[in-house]
Structures are given as C-alpha cells and as structure tokens.
Chain A
Amino acid sequence: MDLSAISPTLLVASLMVAATPILLAAIGELVVEKSGVLNLGVEGMMIMGAISGFAAAVLTGSPMVGFLCAALGGAALSMIFAILTQYFLSNQVATGLALTLFGLGLSAMLGQSYVGIKPPVSAKLELSLISDIPVMGPILFSHDFTVYAALALVAGVWWFLKYTRGGLILRAVGESHDAAHALGYKVVRVRILAIMFGGACAGLGGAALSLVRVPQWTEGMTAGSGWIALAIVVFASWKPARVLLGAYLFGGVAVLQLNLQAAGVSIPVEYLSMSPYLITIIVLVVMSANRSKSALNAPAALGRVFHASR
C-alpha cells in the first residue's frame, strides 16, 4: 500500500472534474425544485444527455455539437415529465421514476452501436505559462471547459435567483403557487421553463461524463449520479453556493476512493466503491436532523400538485 503515490494537487484537480457532471445536474435540479417541482428523473435525463451528446459528437466530430445535443436531449426528455405533471397533474414521484426508467432503457437502446468508440477530445484550457504553475496551475487553469462552464452556471443561477425579477417570480411560484396564480403569474409556464432548464443541465452533466470524465459510452454509466445530484440539492438547503460545496465534496470522496484502490489499500474494492453512497446517506441524515435550518429553505410548495381552480 503506497499512500505517497496520491498527490493532493492531482486529487483536487481530478475531484473538480469528477464533480462537474453532478454539479451540472444538481444546479439544474435546484432551479426546478425552487419552482416547486420535484423531478426524480435526473438520472434518466443525465443518461439521455450522455448518449445524445456522445452520439452527436462522434457523428459530427465536434464535442461542442455534442454538448448542445446533450442539452437538447435532456430538455426534450424533461418535457415528457413537464407535460405529465403540469398538464395531466400526475404524481411527481411516480412520473420522475418513470422518466428515469424510460431514460435508462431508451439510452441503452440508442447507444447500442456506440459502445467502445472513442469520442472526439474536448479542448482543455492551456495557458502556457499560467497552467504550469505548481499546485494552482493544474487546479485552476488546466481544465476542460465544462468545469469552467459549470462554475459559471452556478454563479449565474445564484445571481438570477437573488437579483432578477425572473428569479423572484420563480421563488414565489415555489413558495405558494396559489398566491402566485392569484397575482396573475403563469405558474405552469414558469415551471415548464424551469423543468426544461433542469433537463438541459442534467443532459450537459451526462455529456460531461461521456465526453470528458470517462470518456466513453457504457449502458447505465451514470451509476446513480443523478440520485446523488438530488441528494446534493437537499444537502445544499436549496442554495447555489452550497450545491458547489456538496458536489465538490462528493467528487472528492469518489476520487479519493479510486485513489485508495489504486494505492493498494487493503480494504476490498467493493467496500471502497460503496463509500460515496454511504457518505451520501450520512450527509442526508445530518442535514435532516438539523431540521430547523434546512426546513426554512425548502420551497413550501415543493412536490405539490397545482390545479388552477379558477
């Protein structure tokens, strides 16, 4: 067992990459939940994004086109959820689950002919002098653009929610859809836009996995990342900055256990592989035990069906 082989700099740099797919999915889901909708279909939308992005990138040779298609694919799948829950008033938990199951099946089908193919490589940031600074270089300046895009997105969502009228309306809809409707705001329209945004983000997250992190396509490759993204939103008490923290923490655990495996630590591989999931459970418990603080931030109308009776 050789722990010295684990370099902290590389660890931090790789955890940022590992965290990015989940960060993208989580920040999208945060916006969806802030509008009062619980979309459990994140896993399904992520994997749809993974395959759409992968296929598009391979077919056109351009990773950027891949990312665009991934976002569109995720958003398209989320529309099914949007129509069912907002127009057909279906139960949000059941519909989200159906979305995940359908997304997993559909993506596996679509991805049949793409197993084992290498995708076009996405651009990494290479600023010749700056990227070579020890420690800060690899951590801050040598990443693939998805890492920076994810960070920018988090900042953008934070600013949107806090300072814009659109953000205020979104928060209002999530607090009390009846009051928002009485004031004349189009609750259904706001929620559908939020759901589509969440779908696009989850799609991007999936593509970050299949085009950057791994990078290749395998059936079921998200392996629960979508669910972990959901847990992170709860952990973050629905605050964007905390989503960043949660995703990076989780990325850290995931990368650390891989490093420990490689370093030959004597814990069996399976138990190390379990650790991210167990840690997620522990984090969820800690957050919910501290009920008074987190409850205030949960959008009051989260998960409840809105039917305009007027």
Chain B
Amino acid sequence: MSKTLLHLNGLTKTYPGVIANDDVSFDIAAGEIHALLGENGAGKSTLVKMIYGLVRPDHGTMQMEGVSFVPAEPRAARAVGVAMVFQHFSLFEALSVAENIALGMENPPKANALSARITEVSQSYGLPLDPERLVGDLSAGERQRVEIIRCLLQEPKLLIMDEPTSVLTPQEVTTLFTTLRKLKDEGTSILYISHKLEEIRALCETATILRGGKKVATCDPREKSARDLAEMMVGGKLNLAESKETTLGEVVLEISDLSLPPQSAFGTSLRNISLRLHRGEILGIGGVAGNGQDELLACMSGEVSTTAEAIQLNGLSLGHMSPNERRTLGVLAAPEERLGHAAAPDMSLTENAMLTAMTRKSLSKSGFLDWPRAKDFAEQVIKKFDVRTPGPQSAARSLSGGNLQKFVIGREVLQDPSVLIVNQPTWGVDAAAAADIRQALLDLAAKGASVIVISQDLDELMEISTSFAALNAGRLSAARPMAELSLDEIGLLLGGADAAA
C-alpha cells in the first residue's frame, strides 16, 4: 500500500444560498491517478480550489505528507508541490511559449537555460514544444501542453487536471494518457477531474464521486460499469432525449466550396467547405474548439460575407446577404458565446428578443420599434422554454448559464426557422437544461426544419444527429449518416483523416 500524499478531512465550504462542499473526506496516495467525478455544480471546482489555495475552507483540514496543509494562496500550494492545469488556460497569445512558461514560474531560469529545459522536458514526456513559437499560433491541444510543461518544470508531487480532454481529439487524449501514466510511474500523483466516464475507467485506479457537495463514494472505477458510475453521479435517471424516426427530405441548404481567409491575427481559415442539408435533418459537426467553428457560424449567420453562391437556400444565393436579410429567408443562428454575442449582457430579455426577432416577428414598423410586442414575444419564450427569471425586464446577465441558453435557443426556435445553426448549444449548461435544449432541437427537425449542430460534445452529437461531419483545421469531412459511424471512425475524422480535399 503506497503512502498517503494528500489527506482531506471534513472539508466544508458554503456560499450564500448554497453548500458547495459538505464534509468531504478522502485520500490521495502517492503515485496514484485519482479521479474526481461529478456533474456540473457537484462541487468539484470548489474542492480543487481549496487544495490549490484559491479558497479557504470553512471547516475541515488537509494534510500533505502528514504535515498540516493550509495554503493561503496558490504560491503556497505550489511551494509544497501542488500544480494545477485549469480548464481555461491562462496563456498570452502574443507571447512565446518560453515567455508564457516563465510567467507561470516563481523563479524561472534565464532565457537560454529555460528554452533548453522546455525542449528537454517536453520531448521526454511525449509532448514536444518549440519554445520560441507564439502561443497564439498553437492549437488547443498544443496550448494545453504549454500549461502541462509549465507545471512539470516545477517537479510537482500532485498534479491536478481540470477537465483536460474537453479540448482534445481522441488521438491527443491517448498521448495525454501515456504522459500521465509515465508521471504516475515516476511517483507523481494525479487528481483527474472529469465527467467522462469511459476515460476515467481507462485511466484511473481510484475515483471519488461528488454529488450536491457531498461525497457519494470512493471506489475503483475499473471495477464498476459506466452505468453504475453515472447513476452515482446523477442519483437518478435523466430524461434522455427521444429521437423520432425522420425521413430526410429534399436538399434545403447547400454550401459549396466555402473558403475564408483568417479574420484575425490568430484566427482559423475555412477551406473549401461543402455540405448539403436536407429537410428534417440534424447535421452534427464535431470538432475541438479552434478549428473554424466560430468562423463557420459567422459565415452562416451573415456576420461575415462570402461569395454569394457559396451558400444557397433552395437555389437562392445568399452568401453576400446581411444577417437580417437571411433572417427574413428563415436562416437563423445561435453563436457559442451567450453573454456578449448571442445576447447583450446588460440589456433586458425584451431587448434581447428584439435583437434577432425584429424581422420575423414584425417588431419594427418603418424604423419604429414595437416594444410591447417584443415583450410579449420574450414572455412567450420564457414560458415555453421554462426560463427561470423574474420576468422579461431582467438583464441577460442576471440569468444562470442554463437559463440564458434556453432563452437564446428558444428565441430562435420560436421564430420558426427553415434552417437553424447552433454552436455549442449546451456548453456549460446543467444537465436538465441541456436535455430540454436537445429535445427542442429534435422537435424542430421533426416539424420539417433543418438543423446544424456544431459541438465539441461527441455524446451530444451521437444522441441527436442524423448525420455527422468533422471540422478540422478549417476543412469539413464529407457528411455520413450517424448510424454508420463508430467512435474510432469519428476520432479519425476529427483528427483530419478523410477530410474533403
């Protein structure tokens, strides 16, 4: 039995109105890969922030190698050998890899020595990096490497990883796992936070499951089935969206050879994208963030102009049309960023309804706005999609992520589109709201509309799409019916194989 590295005893943390962690206790052994499982809001982030010194527990103690451990700030945690790779990277795009790593270290060595160390360490762990490259030029997977190498250079005893695979292709996941196993063999412990059950069963030897702030169990995930783990995480059954059998109708939307140069210094270009969308179809476009998803949505919504013929709706060229011209034709979109893009954070829900529904819901007459009508529409959306908010006068920023996303998607769905494109429709949304949103998309397609769902969540795509294509470095693979594809094939597609030339 290897000795205990970190001992957590009765950790409790409350915020106004919610108990984030309730008497959580477990141990992490040296050289162990320990999973921390739970749904959104289960308390994983708070627990980990306490370990890393970002938050002070209200009650409870921690011990590192038998010595009392009360970090006042991350620096104290790092001094004791705890390192953390966050889900959202703290990187500076215009600075080089070496400069980024230097910024994350307490006492970095001088420039030449640091570059040499980076090259050496990154090679030996199978995550090669060029120290002089600008971080802005790196892919999401490579950027994660920068974060990991930054941690490894401090020779940590405990490496905490928060949802590390959300930005990786299946092949990159395999590489990461090899690296983590190597670290484990060298005696480093890993606390691996995730909600991806198959990965945890493949990688981790111990798992602690949190639900509603409490620890539900600590077990060996290899001995449990994914279903068992899921039931412990969720504590009940969720309504899985029911897809109805749909027959694909005629081609409604055709994208031919859509190309776009990069829109910003570190943007992605689009290369010869072609697809055909049928009536009643849900096309799932998978791909890790940063491969052109935002650019593709902007081309579809009209925020970016393309050659007219590149996008055709029932034979009508609309690539050059403005967003509102497209809305008149029935082409609607919901971008990824809900606060600041899909909705204006400081404006009320009524005003946000006016934002996109002006044309299709006749909210404007010769330039003058009909606010009472807009308010009615906002109330309709709130009611139909169960948006929890005091009323349509609330500012968009006052809504929780899930509720705002329901409003944003609901606003488009209730405008009766012929074509709807959504980008990451359930990102950061709680499970119940996510299920409602997916059901709404399925119902929309069942009524005869066509939907494109761009998403990083393969489970989601496999659940609701009729066909699948992968977006990689700006290229789109040929769409194939979902029923024909296996997870391996999907992984290859995401990695760039079989992309349309």
Chain A-chain B contacts (Cβ-Cβ < 8 Å), number: 46
Chain A's closest residue to B89 (CB) is: A179
Give the contacting residue for A176; candidates B73, B74, B92, B104; CB below 8 A.
B92
The CB with the most chain A CB atoms within 10 A, among B86, B90, B93, B102, is that of B90
Contacts A179-B92, A300-B93 known; A172 to B103 CB distance under 8 Å?
Answer: yes
Size of the chain B interface, CB-CB below 8 angstroms: 18
Secondary structure of the B side of the interface?
loop
- Asked whether B73 lies within 8 Å of A179 as measured between CB atoms, the reply is no
Roughly how many angstroms separate A165 CA and B73 CA in the complex, as a whole number? 21
- Give B283-334 interface residues, CB cut-off 8 Å to A: none
Secondary structure of the A side of the interface?
helix
B7 at the interface (CB under 8 A from A): no
B162 at the interface (CB under 8 A from A): no
A33 at the interface (CB under 8 A from B): no
Roughly how many angstroms separate A292 CA and B102 CA in the complex, as a whole number? 28
B18 at the interface (CB under 8 A from A): no
Roughly how many angstroms separate A54 CA and B108 CA in the complex, as a whole number? 45
Q: Which residues of B contact A180 (CB under 8 A)?
A: 90, 92, 103
Roughly how many angstroms separate A171 CA and B94 CA in the complex, as a whole number? 9
B75 at the interface (CB under 8 A from A): yes
Q: How far is the CB of B41 from chain A (nearest CB, A)?
A: 17
Q: How far is the CB of A170 from chain B (nearest CB, A)?
A: 11
- Asked whether B75 lies within 8 Å of A184 as measured between CB atoms, the reply is yes
- Asked whether B103 lies within 8 Å of A183 as measured between CB atoms, the reply is yes
B54 at the interface (CB under 8 A from A): yes
Q: Which residues of A contact B74 (CB under 8 A)?
A: 184
Chain A's closest residue to B265 (CB) is: A296
1/0 contact trace for B81-107 toward A, CB 8 Å? 000001001111111000100111000
Chain A's closest residue to B73 (CB) is: A184
Give the contacting residue for B102; candidates A168, A175, A176; CB below 8 A.
A168
- Asked whether B95 lies within 8 Å of A310 as measured between CB atoms, the reply is no
A169 at the interface (CB under 8 A from B): yes
Roughly how many angstroms separate A180 CA and B91 CA in the complex, as a whole number? 8
A182 at the interface (CB under 8 A from B): yes
Cβ contacts A to B, 26 pairs, < 8 Å: A165-B102, A168-B99, A168-B102, A168-B103, A169-B103, A171-B92, A172-B92, A172-B95, A172-B103, A175-B94, A176-B91, A176-B92, A178-B90, A179-B89, A179-B90, A179-B91, A179-B92, A180-B103, A182-B86, A182-B90, A183-B90, A183-B103, A184-B73, A292-B265, A295-B265, A299-B94
Given contacts A180-B92, A182-B90, A310-B54, 14 further A-B contacts (CB under 8 A): A165-B102, A168-B95, A175-B93, A175-B94, A176-B91, A176-B92, A179-B89, A179-B90, A179-B91, A179-B92, A182-B86, A184-B74, A292-B265, A299-B94
Q: Which residues of chain B have a CB within 8 Å of any CB of chain A?
A: 54, 73-75, 86, 89-95, 99, 102-104, 108, 265
